[in-house]
Structure 1
């Protein structure tokens, strides 16, 4: 079996989906194309002939809504849109919330066994402003015989987890508050700046009234097309051109009092505890990594950053899908022949505070080593992008002097409709 390494990583900033999204005027294929271009630039693969000689495949992810701009094999079409070499193949995968991580695992697996060449790109994209979660879904009439159809709605499952495992509203709000504080502190220090791609784009004027999308005055690496901006202008919408260089959803001014005042969203009875404030955001973003075998590393002339030690998925009751990491993590540790005390950092996506609190308690995870720069609640959860986003940010953590002692990092997430996934990353010294 060949060893496979992450040699480069890059992502767009993460926009908060909706009418004020910083990426309301950028389509999913273009977000993906921007990541492709940046990864090629970082690897010295801007020449098409060189791309054709070195890159074997692109494994990209989108999920929940693989149609409209996210359809027609976006992994391949976005590669063409990025002016990539035709000779490089491309595919699209879906494992719902773990799709971005699954794309990396698929690429690594084929490369390890010798079926995937020496260099591949992998990652994912989700544009929840343009294609809302669940849009176009058509549930089979018989599905309700086999599962609680309420579990199709992720917020419903968060309420079920809170009720079944006695996770209080106060615990959830506290967790959400801490997530925002960690993310705000990291953003203030530009901790993920090394992997974040500044993009010049026209954004809704109102969206920058409270947040500066470019506090470090970075120059744009790419300029978004203006097709959608022109259409909005014709409708009288007011947009301004800015460089977007940070994640939009982090709220440094979050308070426990403000979170406590938010209404419940998914259930309205006296037991309801899940609010927009203690849930992950909906987002627009793309992220990817470059994977290389030892031979690929030589061809690229790059130094490996980290490698995938092991990967595991599990299935469970759809209505408590949120506890997935509590089951997937022990499985991946056993598969790797490792114990929990060998792990230095834990990056477990925050789909909802209820499930995050449960997982932290169930596995007795150290709070000071859990989601150290925030996660889904504060950074965002652009579904198929999230797994790749976390992998990108882990490369930044491994380069950060604050974590010079870190060797192993676990990445994990719950997955809609009853899954969990977990991976172990190891620093390459």
Structure 2
């Protein structure tokens, strides 16, 4: 078995989906193409002949709504859109919220087995502004005989977790506020460029004038095509040029009082506790990593930063899909022959505060070591991108002096329809 390392990682900013999204005029396949271009630049593979020689495959994620601009085979077509070599193949995978992480696991596994060459690119993208979650779905008429159909809506499952495990509204709002405060602090670091400054690819885009606030100008920005912007301008929409170089959804002004004022969304009875404020956002983004064996890293002239030590997925009752990390994390630790006390940081996606509170408390995780730069509630949860976004940020956490003594970081998430996934990332010394 070969060792496989992550030698580069990059992502777009995470835009908040909707009419005011900073990426409302940039498509999912173009976001993916920009990530491909940047990763090739960072590994010195802009020459097509070199791409054909070194890059064995592209494993990309597009989930929940793999049609329209996310359809056909986004991994392959976005690679071509990026002006990548035709000789490099590409595929697209789906495990809903864990798709971006699973694409990395799939690529790593084939490379470890000697079936995937010495260099691959893996990651994922999601554009929830253009393709709302659930669009185009057609559920089999008999599915309701085997699961609660309401559980297809993940907000419903957040309410069930809160009720079944007695997670109160105040605890949920507290976690949500802390997520925004951690994310705001991370964005304020490095003179306002943010902790993720080396991760995020700056993109010049035409954005709605109302949303053009808090711009962080960066050199070397890619310029998004204007196909959608022209159509929007013709409809009379006011647009401005804006450098998208930070995550859009963070709300530094969040308080317990502002969260308490928000009405429940998914259920409206007297027990309802899940609001837009203590739920993850819907988002638009893309993220990817470059994987290489020792031979591949040498050929690229890149130093390995981290490796995927182990990976696990697990199934569970769809009604309580949010507790997935509580089951997946012990499974992956057991596979690796490790214990929780060996883990320095925990990146557990915040799909909803109800499930996040339950997972953190049930596993006994210290708050100060969980989601140190924020997570789904503050950064966002662009489904197929999330697992790759987290891996990308972990890549830079391992290079942050604040975490110089951390050797292992766990990445985990719950997954819609009753899954959990977990991975252990190890620093390469």
1:11-160 aligned within 5 A: 11-160=11-160
**Partner residue, 2:214:** 212
**Partner residue, 1:346:** 346
- Aligned: 1:270 with 2:270: yes
**Partner residue, 1:194:** 198
TM-score, with length taken from structure 2: 0.99
Offset at residue 331 of structure 1 (A): 0.1
- Aligned: 1:315 with 2:319: no
Offset at residue 220 of structure 1 (A): 4.2
Offset at residue 213 of structure 1 (A): 2.6
| Equivalent-residue separation in structure 1 for 2:210 and 2:306 (angstroms) | 40
Offset at residue 221 of structure 1 (A): 2.3
Q: Is this contact kept in 1: 2:280–2:380, CA < 8 A?
A: yes
Query: In the TM superposition, what whole-angstrom CA distance separates every residue of 1:195-224 from its partner, at most 9, and x where no partner exists?
Result: 10000000000002xx3131xx31242100
Query: In the TM superposition, what whole-angstrom CA distance separates every residue of 1:43-78 from its partner, at most 9, and x where no partner exists?
Result: 000000000000000000010000000001000000
| Equivalent-residue separation in structure 1 for 2:86 and 2:215 (angstroms) | 35
Query: In the TM superposition, what whole-angstrom CA distance separates every residue of 1:129-186 from its partner, at most 9, and x where no partner exists?
Result: 0000000000000000000001000000000000000000000000000000000000
**Partner residue, 1:425:** 425
The total of aligned residue pairs comes to 425
| Equivalent-residue separation in structure 1 for 2:400 and 2:293 (angstroms) | 25
| Equivalent-residue separation in structure 2 for 1:194 and 1:162 (angstroms) | 37
Q: Is this contact kept in 2: 1:220–1:243, CA < 8 A?
A: no
Query: In the TM superposition, what whole-angstrom CA distance separates every residue of 1:396-425 from its partner, at most 9, and x where no partner exists?
Result: 111111000100000000000000000000
Offset at residue 101 of structure 1 (A): 0.0
**Partner residue, 2:243:** 243
| Equivalent-residue separation in structure 1 for 2:17 and 2:252 (angstroms) | 18
Structure 2 unmatched runs, 5+: none
What secondary structure is seen at the aligned counterpart in 2 of 1:144? helix
Offset at residue 307 of structure 1 (A): 0.1
What secondary structure is seen at the aligned counterpart in 2 of 1:292? strand
Q: Is this contact kept in 1: 2:168–2:273, CA < 8 A?
A: yes
Q: Is this contact kept in 2: 1:107–1:122, CA < 8 A?
A: yes
Query: In the TM superposition, what whole-angstrom CA distance separates every residue of 1:100-134 from its partner, at most 9, and x where no partner exists?
Result: 00000000000000000000000000000000000
| Equivalent-residue separation in structure 1 for 2:238 and 2:78 (angstroms) | 28
Structure 1 unmatched runs, 5+: none
Offset at residue 242 of structure 1 (A): 1.2
Q: Is this contact kept in 1: 2:251–2:378, CA < 8 A?
A: yes
Q: Is this contact kept in 2: 1:10–1:35, CA < 8 A?
A: yes
Offset at residue 253 of structure 1 (A): 0.7
| Equivalent-residue separation in structure 2 for 1:218 and 1:227 (angstroms) | 23
What secondary structure is seen at the aligned counterpart in 2 of 1:124? strand
| Equivalent-residue separation in structure 2 for 1:121 and 1:276 (angstroms) | 34
TM-score, with length taken from structure 1: 0.99
| Equivalent-residue separation in structure 2 for 1:81 and 1:218 (angstroms) | 24
Offset at residue 33 of structure 1 (A): 0.2
Q: Is this contact kept in 1: 2:196–2:393, CA < 8 A?
A: yes
Q: Is this contact kept in 2: 1:75–1:90, CA < 8 A?
A: yes
Q: Is this contact kept in 2: 1:31–1:285, CA < 8 A?
A: yes
**Partner residue, 1:406:** 406
| Equivalent-residue separation in structure 1 for 2:400 and 2:361 (angstroms) | 28
| Equivalent-residue separation in structure 2 for 1:74 and 1:238 (angstroms) | 30
What secondary structure is seen at the aligned counterpart in 2 of 1:10? strand
| Equivalent-residue separation in structure 1 for 2:390 and 2:210 (angstroms) | 29
What secondary structure is seen at the aligned counterpart in 1 of 2:313? strand
- Aligned: 1:171 with 2:175: no
Runs of 4+ that moved beyond 6 A: none
| Equivalent-residue separation in structure 2 for 1:396 and 1:292 (angstroms) | 17
| Equivalent-residue separation in structure 1 for 2:83 and 2:22 (angstroms) | 24
**Partner residue, 2:326:** 326
What secondary structure is seen at the aligned counterpart in 2 of 1:126? strand
1:250-265 aligned within 5 A: 250-265=250-265
